[in-house]
Amino acid sequence: MVLEVAESLSIRVKETAEARRSRILPISSAGNCQQILIRISAFALLACLSMYGQITQASQKRVGSALSNSTEYLNVKRSNFPSDFVFGASTAAAQIEGSTKSGGKGPSVWDQYVCFYIYKFTYCLNLVHQQHKGDKVGYGNEGFGYRAWDPGFHKKKPQMVKMSATVLWVASRFMEPLLLGQYPLSMRRLVKDRLPVFTAKDKELVKGSFDFIGINYYTSRYAKHIPINPQAAPVSYLVDQHVNSTVDKDGVLIGPNAGGSAFIYVYPQGLYKLLKFMTEHYNKNLTIYITENGFTEKNDDSIPIPQALNDQDRIEFDQKHLHQIRRAINNGMNVKGYFYYSLFDDFEWSEGFTIRYGLYYVDFKNLKRIPKKSAKWYHDFVQGDQK
């Protein structure tokens, strides 16, 4: 069903809610993932497969994790995919979400930086490059746009430094190792010995070990610097940033809130600013894909389905973000592709079924899929019938 819907939209398919649950690992005798990829190829569609999206403690016990020296992840071969499979990303939105230790305790300040051992991923990527010269493998990063609390920050160097450090912390915690072979200086100064240290060999392995960068962009925040207390004990990864991140400034929201979401406040120009920062700060020829960009609606069963299908707000969200991408391309930024999230309404990591992301409405009582107004608009857009 996922592929027939994709074909009707004339779009290129990313990892959808349905495909996402058909994992390569643990290896399935039914070969669900392989069957989906083969069918994608039959429709002449492009797939961007995330190798490492969400892993639970139970999954880690079964197949290991990226922190393991010996793990099934290293044994995923090119032959696991159809011969005409195009490209994939090693990770999707690296983050800690909803994690606890036994007894209800959260991860320690040190544990939260363990996931920054990015050279574990790059070892896998280098194996792919060595064995399959034409394959394209990239890294998908969770991206936030930030606006300085002080609108005159460009005239005040200290505020500018703090603003840059905020973006570096969020967008470049994995980017800078991949591009420069080290973590951002601001992060190293603040986190100190709690941050993993690269050896000379690690730096050589990591630097430049990617073909493209994926950016997941949904929203932006205001950032206000919090003075650093050198005597304070480390508390958490978020506190380490010394930034107050807010959705409003003096009571004025950075953008309208998406339905049912405490996360998404619509600020399309933040995507352009983030792309500009990445290219100006690192490399103007950096190959970038927008690997996620989407809009939520509250899931309200009391709303008649015909009314729920009229998602004009999603269309406007998509239009405005695509305009910012076109603006970036026109200004010389090397943005090569865009993936809307999501093809279908799905089960979200934190919100479950309380919100809807999809271009297609899913009736969760019988799993019937119905195209929303946005699906028809998107079809016309990719056909060149919409501006």
- Cα gap 310→354, rounded to integer Å: 18
Give the model's pLDDT for residue 283. 85
- Cα gap 374→7, rounded to integer Å: 15
The helix (H) or strand (E) run that includes residue 145 is strand 136-148
**Residue whose tokens read 């399959």:** 132
Q: What amino acid occupies position 183? A: Y
Q: What amino acid occupies position 304? A: P
| Residue 239, both tokens | 């506190």
Give the model's pLDDT for residue 159. 40
Give the model's pLDDT for residue 158. 38
Give the model's pLDDT for residue 161. 38
CATH architecture of 2-382: Alpha-Beta Barrel (3.20)
What pLDDT digit, counting tens, does each position of 219-248 carry?
Answer: 988 888 888 887 877 777 777 888 888 889
> Helical H runs in 207-342?
237-240, 269-281, 305-308, 312-330
Question: Can you list the residues of the chain whose pLDDT is less than 50?
Answer: 1-3, 10-22, 70, 109-110, 150-164
User: Do residues 45 and 2 make contact, with C-beta atoms less than 8 angstroms apart?
Assistant: no
- CA contacts within 13 A on the Cβ side of 158: 4
User: Do residues 251 and 177 make contact, with C-beta atoms less than 8 angstroms apart?
Assistant: no
Give the model's pLDDT for residue 321. 97
Give the model's pLDDT for residue 302. 94
Could you tell me the pTM of the whole model? Answer: 0.79
